């Protein structure tokens, strides 16, 4: 076992390996509790390494059976082996073949890293450091090898045998009940992209013809009996393949592309070359079991993992510090894909909501770190919102700064220069510098400096001079290890809007400061003077959310109303409505308001009249208020989640009451009797209908309960059924309990649907919820061994139920702390993720802060913690 005193790994200590492994030939004999792995490695000295070095391979809980070098058994005095590593003494030949035989127990693998057996299926998860749990290896991303994998298993147990690459041979083992398959992947890859699967699975397959006319078999393999739930994922896969050809000029490169869905999986999905392995939550969908949001999630994750084939696999990362090179870039690509397939402004709004909720929260607490961290103890803890979402924002800013054409040329250069290599952020940025002719040195600071910059903007209109001056400043707060901050390069897309709603032309005194509505703030402050401004303008700043910053403006309420009514930028139009609602809720938290401004509800009615029918998905985003977590972030210190809840509820119910009739009419009008289709337009109408229902219920619980009850009974799809149940869940009484019971009875054999049921109950903002969760932990469908169940019940509680996780008596913290400690023995990665729910504990009011700290200390003091949990607990307390 690794200990909690994991050493610190530093970027500055990077050096190439002393050896390279050009070829790997694996022979895996699958048995539930004693799988044998024979690895034949073609090793040679690395010209960039130190000559005369010993060969040191990593392992993790391995049992070595035999080892030979160039066909000769190695004498015991030539090597040292333990479960965590294998070292062979120098001198070693310039090039040699190493044959290593190990034994592993997939059934006992509860960490779900390496080779494990879950629900009767053998599968692997190797990123980041799981390959070392299969065989001893140079388990790091800059060692690229060509893999050939032979898998052998009992035919009944595992009729389907898959690995990376193309199938080159298969057959029976004469005289036995066993068979084998041999797969070859011609593309050199790092060990973290290795995968194999063995099991009884149903397959949905089709042929895809690439742009250049190559035939590819695309196949999705799912648990027996669920083939018809894989159709949407297969469709999303084909659309992703086409999109990458069209938008980035990237074709698929093997003869087959396999996707396997498994029910026990730590993450969402994994991009192993030619053999993606998915959490079945991101594959399986039917109108009866999946919501529109689930469909959208499947589309995103399928696209994301597919896009990694070029950004991640063909070009991989030199070391794990460069993780955002593949993850941030690939998130950017999947966001663009979804924008093109659905609505761009709605997708942007949803992504920014997510960024603020996850990444801004992370950036403002003890777990803040740069997009490219400088050091880590446990790499699994750095698959964060910062690396992913802020990493994607950096790529987006780059495109805004240099323009779409230069951006595409830069991407082409990146593929041309670095295909087949393990690259760095510098390599990546160099391509865009080359393509655009710009110096990106200062921009690169985005990768190094943690924390969310705060941009303030103040406008001054001079009617006599017909000029408007905009003063901008930026400041980034200190984060762990970074007390002093430098100014960043912040692209600010902007426009000026006249009071009547007219978009004013941008002419600046100094000439060309502004090009295409873009101002680049790259110092601590700047002023822009616009000339020829005939009326007092309202500035629309940070259009499309052009940089991941907090914007503080001096806009009056009246200005925000102008933006809400007239801004041609959809994102900022939505943002204006959110800013107004945020102000009302903040005033209510301070006790300075007990109602909502009638001008706001009137503006909402006006907005619905204009847009509800033409753009329901967008309207649904406007009707969704800022979350309690958004309000907490605005307040920033001495947070009282109960006070925020009350203020939030007040504002929501006043809006619901004021708009009641309009919303009921809308609700009725949006009803559709057409058969369910997951397309964006239909999903938009359902989203608006559910948003209306939620507001109606807030304003008039009796009316809401009645509508929701009927919707729950009559729904022919999960989006409407679950939308209704979510409304009912907030209204205490027998109606709610009956609906919850009916839902559970209907889906008792469907764990993925029961996850929604667990999550919903965990999110009820009532004191009884704690006991409800403890009961649900004993429910037959719940299991601590399944990551999806743990996330649904305990993750939802800790991450979304602000009032109950933050109970004043501290019992919410205690439940999560105890769960983390128990779970850590089984699955450290999932335990560590759950513990990040404490990431903003220092911002709480004193009473809760003290209780949260005590719970964190209890975790930190618990004996034999994994490095994963020890790292999160330690940094959270720093």
Q: Which of 18, 31, 185, 305 binds ligand BES (CB under 6 A)?
A: 305
Helix (H, G, I), strand (E, B) or coil at 782: coil
Q: Is 324 in the site for ligand BES (CB under 6 A)?
A: no
Q: Which of Zn ion, ligand BES, none lies near 300, with the C-beta cut-off 5 to 8 A by kind?
A: ligand BES
Of 312 and 366, which has the nearer Cβ to Zn ion?
Answer: 312
Of 302-310, 360-368, 503-511, 863-871: span binding ligand BES (CB under 6 A): 302-310
Q: Which residues contact 122 (CB under 8 A, 6 or more apart)?
A: 30, 35, 106, 115, 116, 153, 158, 196, 197, 198, 199
Of 378 and 567, which has the nearer Cβ to ligand BES?
Answer: 378
How much of the chain is helix, strand and coil, in % rounded to 5?
A: 45, 25, 35
Count of residues interacting with ligand BES (CB under 6 A): 17
Residues 455, 460: Cα–Cα separation, whole Å: 17
> By CB under 6 A, what part of segment 139-158 binds ligand BES?
none
Distances (CA, A) of 186 to 148, 209, 627: 9, 20, 49
Of 265-273, 576-584, 596-604, 765-773: span binding ligand BES (CB under 6 A): 265-273
Binding string, residues 21-50; x marks residues near Zn ion by CB under 5 A: ------------------------------
Closest separation in Å from C-beta 330 to Zn ion = 5
Of 325 and 457, which has the nearer Cβ to Zn ion?
Answer: 325
Q: Which residues contact 5 (CB under 8 A, 6 or more apart)?
A: 870
Going by C-alpha positions, the residue among 380, 362, 381 that lies closest to residue 872 is: 381
Residue nearest to Zn ion (CB): 327
Closest separation in Å from C-beta 388 to ligand BES = 6
Q: Which residues contact 516 (CB under 8 A, 6 or more apart)?
A: none
Residues 118, 133: Cα–Cα separation, whole Å: 16
Q: Is 271 in the site for ligand BES (CB under 6 A)?
A: yes
Q: Which of 150, 304, 396, 633 binds ligand BES (CB under 6 A)?
A: 304
CA-based R_g, the chain, Å: 28
Strand order in the sheet with 550-553: 525-530, 467-475, 454-462, 550-553
CB 63 within 8 A of CB 100: no
Going by their DSSP bridges, the two strands 166-172 and 95-104 should be labelled as: unpaired
Of 303 and 739, which has the nearer Cβ to ligand BES?
Answer: 303
Which region, left, alpha or beta, applies to residue 70 given φ > 0 means left and ψ of -120 to 50 means alpha? Answer: left
Of 339 and 553, which has the nearer Cβ to ligand BES?
Answer: 339
CB 535 within 8 A of CB 498: yes
Q: Is 644 in the site for ligand BES (CB under 6 A)?
A: no
CA angle 16, 322, 316 (to 5 degrees): 75
Structure tokens, 369: 């770190």
CB 471 within 8 A of CB 457: yes
Residues 744, 754: Cα–Cα separation, whole Å: 7
Q: Which of ligand BES, Zn ion, none lies near 267, with the C-beta cut-off 5 to 8 A by kind?
A: ligand BES
Q: Is 198 exposed, middle or buried (0-12, 13-18, 19+ CB in 10 A)?
A: buried
Residues 728, 733: Cα–Cα separation, whole Å: 9
Q: Which of Zn ion, ligand BES, none lies near 269, with the C-beta cut-off 5 to 8 A by kind?
A: ligand BES
Of 127 and 341, which has the nearer Cβ to ligand BES?
Answer: 127
Residues 346, 688: Cα–Cα separation, whole Å: 12
Of 234-242, 323-331, 580-588, 676-684: span binding Zn ion (CB under 5 A): 323-331
Closest separation in Å from C-beta 145 to Zn ion = 21
The residue count of the chain comes to 878
Long-range contacts of 717-722 (CB under 8 A, 24+ apart): 717/287, 717/288, 717/676, 717/686, 718/287, 718/288, 718/289, 718/290, 718/291, 718/294, 718/753, 719/291, 719/292, 719/293, 719/683, 719/686, 719/690, 720/686, 720/689, 720/690, 722/291, 722/756, 722/760
Closest separation in Å from C-beta 799 to Zn ion = 21
Of 320-328, 515-523, 658-666, 726-734: span binding Zn ion (CB under 5 A): 320-328
Q: Is 175 exposed, middle or buried (0-12, 13-18, 19+ CB in 10 A)?
A: exposed
Q: Which residues contact 691 (CB under 8 A, 6 or more apart)?
A: 619, 620, 623, 624
Taking the CA atoms of 424, 143, 150 and 87 in sequence, report the sign of the dihedral they define. Answer: negative
Count of residues interacting with Zn ion (CB under 5 A): 2
Closest separation in Å from C-beta 664 to Zn ion = 43
Going by their DSSP bridges, the two strands 422-423 and 454-462 should be labelled as: unpaired
Closest separation in Å from C-beta 292 to Zn ion = 23
Going by their DSSP bridges, the two strands 316-317 and 269-270 should be labelled as: unpaired
Q: Which of ligand BES, Zn ion, none lies near 268, with the C-beta cut-off 5 to 8 A by kind?
A: ligand BES
Query: Which is the catalytic residue, given 4, 129, 305, 853?
Result: 305
Closest separation in Å from C-beta 820 to ligand BES = 19
Of 358 and 579, which has the nearer Cβ to ligand BES?
Answer: 358
Q: Is 261 in the site for ligand BES (CB under 6 A)?
A: no
Of 296-304, 363-371, 484-492, 853-861: span binding ligand BES (CB under 6 A): 296-304
Of 245-253, 268-276, 341-349, 555-563: span binding ligand BES (CB under 6 A): 268-276
Residues 595, 592: Cα–Cα separation, whole Å: 10
Task: Write out 413-445 in H/E/C secondary structure.
Answer: HHHHHHCCCEECHHHHHHHHHHHHCCCCCCCCH
Q: Is 832 in the site for ligand BES (CB under 6 A)?
A: no
Closest separation in Å from C-beta 378 to ligand BES = 11
The four Cα atoms 714, 718, 719, 722 give a dihedral, to 10 degrees, of: 80
Q: Is 327 in the site for ligand BES (CB under 6 A)?
A: yes
Q: Which of 86, 128, 580, 790 binds ligand BES (CB under 6 A)?
A: 128
Residue nearest to ligand BES (CB): 268
Q: Which of 21, 143, 218, 267 binds ligand BES (CB under 6 A)?
A: 267
Closest separation in Å from C-beta 278 to ligand BES = 9
Binding string, residues 351-390; x marks residues near ligand BES by CB under 6 A: --------------------------------x----x--
Closest separation in Å from C-beta 359 to ligand BES = 13
Active site residue 378: no
Closest separation in Å from C-beta 276 to ligand BES = 9
Q: Which of ligand BES, Zn ion, none lies near 270, with the C-beta cut-off 5 to 8 A by kind?
A: ligand BES
CB 383 within 8 A of CB 362: no
Closest separation in Å from C-beta 270 to Zn ion = 8
Closest separation in Å from C-beta 361 to ligand BES = 17
Q: Is 269 in the site for ligand BES (CB under 6 A)?
A: yes
Of 415 and 461, which has the nearer Cβ to Zn ion?
Answer: 415
CB 177 within 8 A of CB 156: yes
Residues 188, 144: Cα–Cα separation, whole Å: 5
Q: Is 308 in the site for ligand BES (CB under 6 A)?
A: yes
Of 137-145, 321-329, 335-343, 787-795: span binding Zn ion (CB under 5 A): 321-329
Q: Is 314 in the site for ligand BES (CB under 6 A)?
A: no
Q: Which of ligand BES, Zn ion, none lies near 298, with the C-beta cut-off 5 to 8 A by kind?
A: none
Of 290 and 693, which has the nearer Cβ to ligand BES?
Answer: 290
Residues that bind Zn ion (CB under 5 A): 327, 330
Enzyme catalytic residues: 305
Residues that bind ligand BES (CB under 6 A): 127-128, 267-271, 300-301, 304-305, 308, 327, 331, 334, 383, 388
């Amino acid at each position: 076992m690794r200990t909690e005193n994991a050493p610190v790994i530093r970027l500055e200590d990077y050096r190439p390996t002393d050896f390279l492994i050009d070829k790997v030939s694996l022979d895996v004999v699958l048995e539930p509790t004693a799988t044998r792995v024979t690895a034949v490695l073609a090793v040679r000295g690395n010209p960039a390494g130190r000559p005369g070095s010993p060969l040191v391979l990593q392992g993790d809980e391995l049992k070595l059976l035999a080892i030979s070098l160039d066909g000769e058994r190695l004498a015991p005095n030539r090597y040292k082996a333990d479960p965590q590593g294998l070292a062979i003494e120098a001198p070693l030949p310039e090039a040699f073949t190493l044959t290593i035989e190990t034994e592993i127990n997939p059934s006992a693998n509860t960490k779900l890293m390496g080779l494990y057996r879950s629900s009767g299926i053998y599968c692997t998860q190797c990123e980041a450091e799981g390959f070392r749990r299969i065989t001893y290896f140079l388990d790091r991303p800059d060692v690229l090898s060509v893999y050939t994998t032979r898998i052998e298993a009992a035919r009944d147990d595992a009729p389907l045998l898959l690995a990376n690459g193309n199938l080159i041979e298969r057959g029976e083992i004469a005289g036995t009940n066993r068979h084998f398959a041999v797969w070859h992947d011609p593309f050199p890859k790092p060990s973290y992209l290795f995968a194999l699967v063995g099991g009884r699975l149903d397959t949905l397959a089709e042929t895809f013809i690439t742009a250049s006319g190559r035939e590819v078999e695309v196949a999705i393999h799912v648990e027996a009996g669920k083939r018809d739930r894989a159709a949407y994922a297969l469709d999303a896969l084909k659309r992703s393949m086409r999109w990458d050809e069209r938008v980035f000029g990237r074709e698929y490169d093997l003869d087959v592309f396999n996707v396997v869905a498994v029910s026990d999986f730590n993450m969402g999905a994994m991009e192993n070359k030619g053999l993606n392995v998915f959490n079945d939550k991101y594959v399986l969908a039917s109108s009866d079991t999946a919501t529109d949001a689930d469909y959208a999630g499947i589309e995103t994750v399928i696209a994301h993992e597919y896009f990694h084939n070029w950004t991640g696999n063909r070009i991989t990362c030199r070391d794990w510090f460069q993780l955002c090179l593949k993850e941030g870039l690939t998130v950017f690509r999947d966001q663009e894909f979804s924008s093109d397939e659905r609505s761009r402004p709605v997708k942007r709004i949803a992504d920014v909501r997510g960024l603020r909720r996850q990444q801004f929260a992370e950036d403002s607490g003890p777990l803040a770190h740069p997009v490219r961290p400088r050091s880590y103890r446990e790499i699994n803890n750095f698959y964060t919102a910062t690396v992913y979402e802020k990493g994607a924002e950096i790529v987006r800013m780059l495109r805004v700064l240099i323009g779409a054409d230069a951006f595409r040329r830069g991407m082409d250069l990146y593929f041309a220069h670095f295909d087949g290599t393990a690259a760095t952020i510098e390599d990546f940025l160099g391509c865009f510098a080359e393509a655009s002719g710009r110096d990106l040195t200062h921009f690169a600071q985005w990768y190094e400096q943690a924390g969310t910059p705060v941009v303030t903007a103040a406008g001054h209109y001079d009617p006599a001079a017909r000029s408007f001056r905009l003063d901008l400043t930026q400041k980034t707060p200190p984060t762990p290890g970074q007390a002093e901050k430098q100014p960043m390069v912040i692209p600010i897309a902007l426009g000026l809007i006249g009071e009547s709603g007219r978009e004013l032309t941008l002419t600046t005194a100094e000439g060309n400061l502004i090009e295409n509505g873009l101002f680049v703030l790259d110092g601590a402050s700047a002023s822009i003077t616009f000339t020829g401004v005939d009326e007092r303008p309202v500035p629309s700043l940070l259009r499309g959310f052009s940089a991941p910053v907090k914007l503080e403006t001096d806009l009056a309420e009246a200005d925000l109303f102008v933006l809400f009514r007239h801004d041609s930028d959809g994102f900022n139009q939505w943002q204006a409505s959110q800013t107004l609602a945020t102000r009302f809720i903040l005033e209510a938290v301070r006790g300075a308001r007990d109602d909502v401004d009638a001008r706001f509800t009137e503006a909402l009615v006006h907005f619905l009249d204009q847009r509800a029918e033409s753009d329901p998905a967008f309207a649904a985003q406007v009707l969704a208020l800022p979350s309690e977590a958004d309000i907490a972030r605005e307040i920033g210190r001495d947070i009282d989640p109960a006070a925020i809840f009350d203020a939030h509820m007040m504002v929501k119910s006043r809006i619901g009451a004021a708009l009641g009739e309009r919303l009921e009419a809308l609700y009725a009008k949006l009803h559709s009797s057409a058969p369910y289709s997951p397309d964006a337009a239909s999903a938009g109408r359902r989203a608006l209908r559910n948003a209306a229902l939620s507001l109606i219920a807030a304003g008039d619980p009796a009316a809401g309960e009645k509508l929701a009850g009927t919707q729950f009974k009559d729904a022919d799809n999960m989006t409407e059924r679950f939308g209704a149940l979510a409304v009912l869940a907030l209204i205490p009484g027998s109606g709610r309990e009956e609906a919850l019971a009916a839902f559970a009875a209907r889906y008792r054999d469907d764990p993925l649907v029961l996850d929604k049921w667990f999550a919903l109950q965990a999110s009820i903002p009532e004191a009884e919820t704690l006991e409800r969760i403890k009961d649900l932990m004993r429910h037959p469908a719940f299991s601590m061994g399944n990551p999806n169940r743990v996330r649904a019940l305990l993750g939802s509680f800790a991450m979304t139920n602000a009032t109950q996780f933050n109970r004043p008596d501290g019992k919410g913290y205690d439940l999560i702390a105890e769960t983390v400690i128990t779970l850590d023995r089984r699955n450290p990665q999932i335990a560590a993720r759950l513990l990040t729910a404490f990431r903003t504990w220092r911002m709480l009011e004193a009473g809760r802060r003290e209780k949260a700290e005590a719970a964190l200390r209890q975790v930190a003091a618990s004996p034999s913690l994994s490095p994963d949990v020890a790292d999160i607990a330690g940094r959270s307390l720093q």
